[in-house]
Structure 1
Amino acid sequence: MRIAMLHWAFPPTIGGVETHLTMLCPALVREGCEVALLTGAVDGRVAAETWEGVRIRRTPLMDLNSLSPTLIRRYKDEIREELARFIDRERPDVIHAHNMHYFSYVHAEALVRIKERVGAPLILSAHNVWDDETWEELLRLRFAWDGVIAVSHYIKRELIASGYPAGQIRVIHHGLDLARFQAATPPEAVRREIREKARGRKIVFHPARMSLAKGSDIVVLAFRRVKEVYPDAFLLLAGTNNTVDWGSYQQGEIAQIRRMIAECGLEEDVLIRFFPWEEMPAAYWESEVVVYPSSFDEPFGLVLLEAMAAGKPLVVTRAGGMPEIVVPGETGFIIPRRQPDALAEKILALLRAPDLVRQMGQRARRRVAERFTLERMVRETVAYYDEVCRTRGRAERGKRSSAIG
């Protein structure tokens, strides 16, 4: 099967969808599929390359960090031509777009035109939902997808509430390559660097980009309370480089969070470090507790699987799809949103109880191995490709029969 993937970004740009693609695309290749990805341009990277068997083509016309809505409208013809060239070159059996139900009507509408011309089914993976003018505009295309993959039951419910046909949507949870998170895997040099910075203190890790939506401000406030009663604690924040930041909001929020750290007197107790995808396991392994107190409805939370695979307990908010992953009291804790006192309480409960940390971590690793593996995700994705292709084939045969009749 030939698959044409499309998404705005790919490593070295990082984010949840980008991490998902680094696992899904090579795994599909190993299953015998031919996979090509059209994605955004990155300074210093060639326009075309092959990575782990995946043909990658980069173009500025897919780079949302540099494409404003005004520029998208200005270059709409060039965007349509770029997408058409990619599809015509790859001649796919399936066109699989990620998050094309938002950000740009021009890109999504171009794909709908192309799929009608080439006859390949068009599948959308919905990693997020929104509620604004752009979202409303793109709802005009909600019946144009031949299939929709929702990354959680929460996302499926939100899509149905927005008018997507329920029978069109399949929930396929993300999966993880567990081998990446075994004890011998994480880069030792990175682990040593983290240990040197922490100087023997127990590490609380927040593996999200620094932003208010991800609850970074709540983490800082909670950690201040933790330090007041548990001085032997250290906070590790995932850094800020190479993330999708359409609208350029992130730098202002980063500055705000850094000010909070200084105002709380925590500068000697916090390490902010950017972790490339291949270095993330090291941060989990050196941590005692992983927190993810998102302030918005997190669609799923791939980093939660990463933490669990590394055997770490989680403290998360009751937001979006995260309760589908964490079992309260067994693999971690679930708290209300934007409540630093509640977050601090659960962090302290774990820091003070090494046996509880170990037991929750063991149960977390088991849960990932049973329900959230890469193999399961790939198997369900390929089966869905086959199902959508068969359904579209029957529909096309029905149209031809009607025309003949």
Structure 2
Amino acid sequence: MKILFLQDDFPPQSFGGAGISAYELALEMKKAGHEISVITTCRNQNEEGKTDYDGLTVFKIASNYSERWRWYLSLYNCGVVKKVEKILSELSPDVVHVHNIHTHLSYYSLKLAKRHARATVMTFRDVMAFSFAKLDTKKYLENQDVKVTWLDQIRQAGKRWNPFRNIIIRHYLKYADRKFAISYALKDALAQNGINDVEVIYNGINVSEWKASDEEVKDFKKKHQLENKKVIFFNGRLSPAKGSEQALEAVRLVRKEFSEAVLLVAGTGNMEPREGLIFTGWLDREEIKLAYTASDLVLMPSVCFDAFGRVNIEAMASKKPIIGTRFGGTPEIVEDGQTGYIVNPLYPEQIAEKTLILLKNPERAKQFGQVGYARAQKCFNLHDKAIEYQSIYLYLCSS
């Protein structure tokens, strides 16, 4: 089959969780013998055009606008959708699989996909189909109330609020033949905000690719001064929504008992240097694998609705225990007391308590990692997820 993916940000332009998940699914589909193309976006005009990335045909469309227009251009981005339609017309794909399009490719692309392809599939990867920003409202964090009211929207968007945005999005979603969420938590949140008939297919991972040699890990530890340290890994930017403040406070509490404990952050930061905090700088995908393997445990302390948390399955594939957030999809992935612990990240002392349990009981941490690895193979196997989607593509194209 000729399959076209639509995803706002895609490697190597971006290595965010949604882009990586779409990219790995595309590669798995290619292994199955399908002809895979991708439409994505870039910020600079000189990067626009057709290219090849890991055997995938990638079409980059330039889109760069002021944030103030996002709530309008996310619905219909005129210059972009014209180029999307031109590519669709030339490719005539059997299936268009739409992922994140809420920033640049815009929801109007669903209508174009329906016009030019035999089947259109939509995968929701976050809350942006109904929320104007990350879902971190007080009522959500206190009561896990995912219903976004008009008042919530106004608070999120301020003067940029578009009262018709969600209505228009729901209209364009009618052009999708099947709709999927990456967790049951996201499916429920979508339903509570008027987006129904959504099924669930989890993100997948190829666990066999998450092995690192002892020598490589040793070199990584030496490079980042991690020898003889208890390494707590935080994979991502230190941002408030990802629970950075709580993570830092938790590690401060842990260091009262384990002075050798450090928080390893994969990325850069604008924070003042402090004891117990190590920034790696930007890491490529192979170095990320080394960071996981070099760690004793992994933190996933998001203080917002995080639909899935790719960090969770990457940690499991690396045989590492996870201390994960109670918010969003993480409790579906991390089995509390089996592959890690679920905490309320608003309370750093909870994170610190569970961290200390794992640091004091390395055998338990190892067991959690082993159980997590087996769970990743069984429940989040990338090959299995590709087969699920493939069967849906075939059914839609034949009916």
Q: TM-score, normalized by length of structure 2?
A: 0.84
Q: Pick one of 353, 360, 364 that aligns with 2:361.
A: 353
Q: 1:46: how far off?
A: 6.7
Q: 1:385: how far off?
A: 1.4
Q: 1:180: how far off?
A: 1.4
Question: Which amino acid in the other structure matches residue 16 of structure 2?
Answer: G
Task: Decide whether the 8 Å contact of 1:175 with 1:374 is kept in 2.
Answer: yes
Q: 1:50: how far off?
A: 1.7
SS of residue matched to 2:110: helix
Q: Cα deviations across residues 104-163 of structure 1 (Å, max 9, x unaligned)?
A: 6x7212430x23432532211100114235445422323222111211111111222222
Aligned to 1:206: 234
Task: Decide whether the 8 Å contact of 1:8 with 1:64 is kept in 2.
Answer: no
Matched ranges for 1:2-401 at <5 A = 2-12=2-12, 13-41=14-42, 47-61=49-63, 68-69=69-70, 72=73, 76-100=77-101, 102-103=102-103, 107-112=106-111, 114-130=112-128, 131=131, 132=153, 133=162, 134-166=165-197, 169-184=198-213, 188=216, 192-196=219-223, 197-240=225-268, 255=270, 258-259=271-272, 262=273, 265-266=274-275, 269-390=277-398, 393=399
Q: 1:317: how far off?
A: 1.1
Question: Which amino acid in the other structure matches residue 177 of structure 1?
Answer: N
Q: 1:368: how far off?
A: 0.7
**Which consecutive residues of structure 2, in runs of 5 or more, have no partner in the other structure?**
132-152, 154-161
Question: Which amino acid in the other structure matches residue 303 of structure 1?
Answer: V
Q: 1:71: how far off?
A: 9.1
| Cα separation, partners in 2 of 1:187 and 1:206, compared to 1, 3 Å | farther
- For 2:259 and 2:287, the matched residues in 1 are separated by 27
Q: Cα deviations across residues 76-105 of structure 1 (Å, max 9, x unaligned)?
A: 4322211111111211001111123x346x
**Which consecutive residues of structure 1, in runs of 5 or more, have no partner in the other structure?**
241-253, 394-405
How many pairs are equivalent? 363
| Cα separation, partners in 2 of 1:7 and 1:119, compared to 1, 3 Å | closer
Q: 1:69: how far off?
A: 2.7
Q: Cα deviations across residues 245-302 of structure 1 (Å, max 9, x unaligned)?
A: xxxxxxxxx54xx15xx5xx42x64234222223211000000010100101110111
Compute the RMSD of aligned alpha carbons. Answer: 2.6
Task: Decide whether the 8 Å contact of 1:178 with 1:369 is kept in 2.
Answer: yes
- For 2:97 and 2:70, the matched residues in 1 are separated by 23
| Cα separation, partners in 2 of 1:340 and 1:64, compared to 1, 3 Å | farther
The structure with more helix, counted as a fraction of residues: 1
Greater relative contact order, per chain length (Cα 8 Å cut-off, separation 6+): 1
SS of residue matched to 1:38: strand
Query: Larger deviation: 274-283 or 303-312?
Result: 274-283
Question: Which amino acid in the other structure matches residue 349 of structure 1?
Answer: I
SS of residue matched to 1:377: helix
Query: Larger deviation: 357-366 or 269-278?
Result: 269-278
Q: 1:354: how far off?
A: 1.1
- For 1:225 and 1:279, the matched residues in 2 are separated by 28
Q: Cα deviations across residues 361-399 of structure 1 (Å, max 9, x unaligned)?
A: 111111111111111111111112123334xx4xxxxxx
| Cα separation, partners in 2 of 1:339 and 1:74, compared to 1, 3 Å | closer
Identity among equivalent pairs (%): 27
Query: Larger deviation: 127-136 or 21-30?
Result: 127-136
- For 1:64 and 1:123, the matched residues in 2 are separated by 27
Q: TM-score, normalized by length of structure 1?
A: 0.83
- For 2:227 and 2:298, the matched residues in 1 are separated by 19
- For 1:28 and 1:291, the matched residues in 2 are separated by 31
| Cα separation, partners in 2 of 1:163 and 1:389, compared to 1, 3 Å | farther
Q: Cα deviations across residues 156-179 of structure 1 (Å, max 9, x unaligned)?
A: 11222222232xx22111111111
Question: Which amino acid in the other structure matches residue 51 of structure 2?
Answer: E
| Cα separation, partners in 2 of 1:70 and 1:300, compared to 1, 3 Å | closer
SS of residue matched to 1:198: coil
Task: Decide whether the 8 Å contact of 1:295 with 1:338 is kept in 2.
Answer: yes
